[in-house]
Structure 1
Amino acid sequence: MKKTLQKAIPKLYGFYFNTIHLFSKEKAASLALKVFSIPRRGKIAEHQKEFLSTARTQKIAFEDGLFQLYHWKGNGPTVLLNHGWESNAYRWKYLIEPLQKLDYNIIAIDAPAHGASDGELFTAVKYSKVITTVIDLYEPKIVIAHSVGAMATIYQESNHPHNFIEKLVLLGSPNKLEVIMRDYQNITSFNNSVYGSLNNLLKNTFGFLIEDFVAADFAEKIQIPSLIVHNPQDVIVPYAAMDEIAAKMPNSSTYTSQTGGHSLYTPEVIEEVLKFLARP
């Protein structure tokens, strides 16, 4: 019964968007974007609090509230960690612990509407602005990002390049917003008329159409030595995204992980990331 309801609810949303669209294209598009932008998960669970409490925390003002930042102090280079959709800074525990042993200075973010950060809505553009704020503040030499956090990182660095960043690691990064939006349409079954109105809303709000938001196109501007990691069994982001981004990113290398699915927090991936960071 529970699984049936879980499948039915998205379809009800789609039916609602389709119906509203008959009376107001703008309202239907706004509702569709709002539902798309609200994470259902990602707040801090009880079992995550103990580890996160080992960091010094800081709240930074931004748009609709405060976002949370964590700092594990070290004497080595500063590393910034940007998590993905419906996650929080705890997802980096697997990587933070070996980085601590190497005495890196570690910064991690809870994205807007995630973890201990304020906000109800999340977009890659909004996240990119938060990432830019933290980069400007802490001047990391290394940035490691996962999933939509990687996409937001590529977007921000193409618009606001930082010459002090020496290495970039992208884990399971999506390439095309259009792929994500078409998946959303398939899950909810809203019609192409709603999709068209949603596309117009993004153009009016953010200055780009859905099909124009392509990580590979943004990556063309990034000269930072970069490692792009993906897993063929990733059921969230197509494996092809790795090669699409790498093909246009001038100073990038790729690694195909045999473990980790979309999450990519396995010993194999950790080892490869640490090897990349250790290279001159």
Structure 2
Amino acid sequence: MKLFAKVIGLYYNLLSVFNLNAATHKAFILFCSPRKGAITDEQRQFLDTSEKHVLFFEEIPITAYIWKGHKTTILFAHGWESNAGRWEPYILKLKDIGHTIIAIDAPKHGNSGGALFDLPLYVEFLNVACKEFQPEVLVGHSMGATSIAYLHYKYPVRSLKKMVLLAPPAYLSRIMADYQKLLGYNNNIMASLEDLCEEKFGMRFDEFSIPKYAKAFEELKSLIIHDRFDDITPFAEGKAIASNLKGSKFIATEGLGHSLPSEKVYSEVFDFIAS
């Protein structure tokens, strides 16, 4: 995989010498194109226990899975190359004790539409879902965690009382630096990508900072869980977000990696929602 990525990067670098604009757009499309995210047969069996609703953002279908209850309404947002089925261990417990659960598939993931995945589009999906279902709790993993945090900064969710961030990336600049390292892009492509990001989304790489945005909703009760040995999102990024949320609780795990599959993690989330 890494060798293949380097070959692609070498090709785009060569293309950039002759046509920087074409190389930049190819690099952007590659960055926004998940390789995974399809629903497995096992996940499909679980998701089929829900009521399915299809919402829309600018004619792009958003698939929402709903388990109705009589208690708190909780909305789940998965991360990159995943889908709503990843939340099964959480949903099984929470629906059994009477909560209303909503989980959505991100753009170009699961059963949702979209030609590409980017965080601003995911935020628009989540905003549509929040307007429809008025959740009191948001739970996100990885890019889903980053997306719900940015959502509440950009479109404050008035019904929201609590937020759970699992292994949250904090800085777009770090994500793009990792992308450059993986593909071996030259600095001309990266500078052009940053210009394209500003044109499309109105921000430079270093302007997107979840710790900075978190200060705008520091009164919100928040739980952040991050593994010390996360090899996808640096542990320090979860700590940085927590440090800017005065009402937050930060839990460090060891040996669970980025996905945080653990009964202890599930219990911490359940207890936080119940508190």
**Bucket of the pairwise TM-score, normalised by the shorter protein:** over 0.9
Partners of 1:63 and 1:210 lie apart in 2 by 26
Q: Among 87, 91, 97, which residue is 2:92 paired with?
A: 97
Partners of 1:94 and 1:137 lie apart in 2 by 24
Q: Among 100, 110, 113, which residue is 1:115 paired with?
A: 110
What is the SS of the residue equivalent to 1:233?
coil
Per the alignment, residue 204 of structure 2 pairs with: 209
Aligned runs of 1:72-87 on 2, under 5 Å? 72-87=67-82
Quick check: 1:78–1:139 contact (8 Å CA) kept in 2?
Answer: yes
Partners of 1:64 and 1:215 lie apart in 2 by 29
Per the alignment, residue 57 of structure 1 pairs with: 52
Per the alignment, residue 18 of structure 2 pairs with: 23
Partners of 2:106 and 2:182 lie apart in 1 by 24
CA displacement at 1:253 relative to structure 2: 1.6
Partners of 1:162 and 1:125 lie apart in 2 by 16
Aligned length: 274
Cα distance change of structure 1 residues 195 and 15 upon mapping to structure 2, 3 Å threshold = same
Q: Is 2:32 the partner of 1:37?
A: yes
CA displacement at 1:65 relative to structure 2: 2.4
CA displacement at 1:44 relative to structure 2: 0.8
Partners of 1:62 and 1:164 lie apart in 2 by 21
TM-score for both structures, normalised by structure 1? 0.95
Q: Is 2:232 the partner of 1:236?
A: yes
Identity %: 35
What is the SS of the residue equivalent to 2:216?
coil
Per the alignment, residue 63 of structure 2 pairs with: 68
Partners of 1:179 and 1:247 lie apart in 2 by 18
CA displacement at 1:267 relative to structure 2: 0.1
Quick check: 2:76–2:140 contact (8 Å CA) kept in 1?
Answer: yes
CA displacement at 1:127 relative to structure 2: 0.3
Q: Deviations over 1:70-98 (max 9, x none)?
A: 00111111000000000000000010011
Unaligned runs of 5+ in 1: 1-5
CA displacement at 1:249 relative to structure 2: 2.0
Per the alignment, residue 223 of structure 2 pairs with: 227
What is the SS of the residue equivalent to 2:52?
strand
Quick check: 1:257–1:268 contact (8 Å CA) kept in 2?
Answer: no
Per the alignment, residue 3 of structure 1 pairs with: none
CA displacement at 1:64 relative to structure 2: 5.8
| Over 4 Å off, 4+ runs | none
What is the SS of the residue equivalent to 2:203?
coil
Q: Is 2:237 the partner of 1:251?
A: no
Quick check: 1:64–1:118 contact (8 Å CA) kept in 2?
Answer: no
Per the alignment, residue 264 of structure 2 pairs with: 268
CA displacement at 1:121 relative to structure 2: 0.6
Partners of 1:204 and 1:29 lie apart in 2 by 13
Unaligned runs of 5+ in 2: none
